[in-house]
């Protein structure tokens, strides 16, 4: 057994923390500092906002920002509502509910790339959906969802893919919150003659609100950084901020604009987090 004297013991906590500190400094700290340097230093070596001004003069930037916000406003509310309904359904603990739970959670094991490829095989002109519709006589020719001038159709395919892929994350958080609500509340509500709607609005919803807001924040941040599904299904036909980071970095080797895009994404995510934590704070969390 190793023994330490009093002087050595005071350094043990710092030594145990050292590997984590080295990891954070090497894989987060250094890239962050390098990104800030690239974003705020122009090609001529001047410190300033030149890279940001260049972006604001590019119409693609505004399209990417609009599409990203549009996806966020469509996907996040639908995911939260669907996840809440599924959580309430499974929380009923009917016979076979565990099988339903496993089926709902299957997409958690898939990456965004896998989900995008599966959707592409379903919705492509020779995919499962078109073959099924043609076989049963609903259509005579395949419906095209991807391609030039079909960005609106591709957009809704992206929405459906994200709903299927990411809703289980919100579902798991909300289901865990529902399962810890004491049955005593509902038994007391039955005594006072509460209806099902009154139980929901006065018991279930308030007690799940902290978890609901946490899930809403997580999905908002993840939706703002969506990349793989959009890039594989539509490419730059539907430009988004994260996709432009990849395009500037990998295709054009424009590291400064890529870093500028990345900084803007990080800044907006921090701003969204601050808004959620400041203005949507529940009484439960304040206590």
CA distances from 142 to 67, 114, 119, 235, 287 (A): 27, 24, 16, 22, 58
Confidence at 287, pLDDT banded by 50, 70, 90: very low
Helices (H), 91-150: 97-105, 112-123, 128-135
Q: What pLDDT, on a 0 to 100 scale, did the predictor assign at position 7?
A: 64
Contact residues for 212 (Cβ-Cβ < 8 A; gap 6+): 80, 84, 174, 177
Q: Residues 167-176: what's their mean pLDDT?
A: 92
Residue 203, pLDDT above cutoff 70? yes
Residue 157, pLDDT above cutoff 70? yes
Nearest to 218 by CA among 166, 267, 279: 166
pLDDT digits (tens, 9 = 90+) for 33-56: 888 889 998 887 788 889 899 999
Which of 2-11, 134-143, 252-261 shows the lowest per-residue confidence on average (mean pLDDT)? 2-11
Residue 68, pLDDT above cutoff 90? yes
Q: Residues 19-24: what's their mean pLDDT?
A: 88
pLDDT digits (tens, 9 = 90+) for 232-253: 999 889 999 999 999 999 999 9
Q: What pLDDT, on a 0 to 100 scale, did the predictor assign at position 6?
A: 64
Answer whether 233's CB lies under 8 Å from 120's CB.
yes
d(CA 71, CA 159): 7
Q: What pLDDT, on a 0 to 100 scale, did the predictor assign at position 52?
A: 92
CA distances from 145 to 26, 123, 166, 263 (A): 43, 7, 22, 33
Confidence at 72, pLDDT banded by 50, 70, 90: very high
User: What angle separates helix 59-90 from helix 205-224, to the nearest 10 degrees?
Assistant: 150
Confidence at 181, pLDDT banded by 50, 70, 90: confident
Answer whether 219's CB lies under 8 Å from 76's CB.
yes
pLDDT digits (tens, 9 = 90+) for 184-196: 888 888 888 888 8
Q: What pLDDT, on a 0 to 100 scale, did the predictor assign at position 184?
A: 87
Confidence at 3, pLDDT banded by 50, 70, 90: low
Residue 286, pLDDT above cutoff 50? no
- Indicate the average pLDDT of the chain: 87
d(CA 87, CA 100): 11
Q: Residues 188-205: what's their mean pLDDT?
A: 86
Residue 180, pLDDT above cutoff 60? yes
Residue 108, pLDDT above cutoff 80? yes
The single residue listed with the structure tokens 């016979």 is 95
Neighbouring CB atoms inside 10 A of 263's CB total 19
d(CA 158, CA 148): 16
The single residue listed with the structure tokens 């790339």 is 113
Q: What pLDDT, on a 0 to 100 scale, did the predictor assign at position 10?
A: 75
Phi, psi for 254 (deg, rounded to 5)? -95, 85
The structure's pTM equals 0.85
The single residue listed with the structure tokens 């250094």 is 30
Nearest to 244 by CA among 274, 214, 264, 216: 264
Which of 132-136, 145-149, 156-160, 241-245 shows the lowest per-residue confidence on average (mean pLDDT)? 145-149
Q: In angstroms, what is the C-alpha Rg of the chain?
A: 24
Q: What pLDDT, on a 0 to 100 scale, did the predictor assign at position 29?
A: 86
Neighbouring CB atoms inside 10 A of 258's CB total 23
């Amino acid at each position: 057994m190793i023994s330490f004297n009093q002087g050595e013991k005071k350094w043990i906590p710092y030594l145990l923390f050292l590997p984590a500190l080295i990891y954070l400094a090497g894989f987060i700290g250094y890239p962050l500092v390098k990104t800030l340097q690239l974003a705020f230093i122009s090609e001529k070596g001047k410190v300033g906002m030149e890279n940001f001004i260049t972006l604001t003069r590019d119409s693609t930037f505004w399209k990417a920002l609009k599409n990203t916000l549009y996806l966020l406003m469509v996907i996040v509310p639908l995911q939260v509502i669907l996840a809440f309904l599924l959580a309430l359904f499974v929380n009923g603990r009917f016979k076979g509910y565990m099988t339903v739970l496993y089926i709902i959670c299957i997409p958690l094991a898939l990456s965004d790339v896998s989900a995008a490829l599966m959707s592409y095989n379903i919705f492509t002109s020779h995919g499962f959906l078109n073959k099924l519709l043609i076989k049963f006589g609903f259509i005579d020719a395949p419906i095209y969802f991807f391609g030039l001038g079909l960005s609106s159709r591709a957009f809704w395919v992206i929405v459906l893919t994200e709903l299927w892929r990411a809703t289980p994350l919100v579902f798991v958080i909300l289901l865990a919150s529902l399962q810890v609500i004491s049955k005593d509340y509902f038994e007391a509500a039955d005594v006072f003659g509460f209806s099902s709607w009154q139980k929901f609005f006065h018991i279930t919803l308030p007690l799940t609100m902290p978890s609901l807001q946490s899930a809403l924040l997580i999905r908002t941040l993840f939706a703002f950084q969506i990349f793989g599904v959009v890039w594989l299904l539509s490419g730059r036909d539907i430009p988004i901020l994260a996709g432009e980071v990849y395009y500037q970095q990998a295709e054009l080797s424009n590291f400064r604009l890529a870093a500028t895009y990345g900084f803007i994404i990080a800044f907006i995510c921090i701003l969204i987090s601050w808004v959620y934590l400041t203005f949507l704070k529940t009484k439960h969390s304040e206590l």
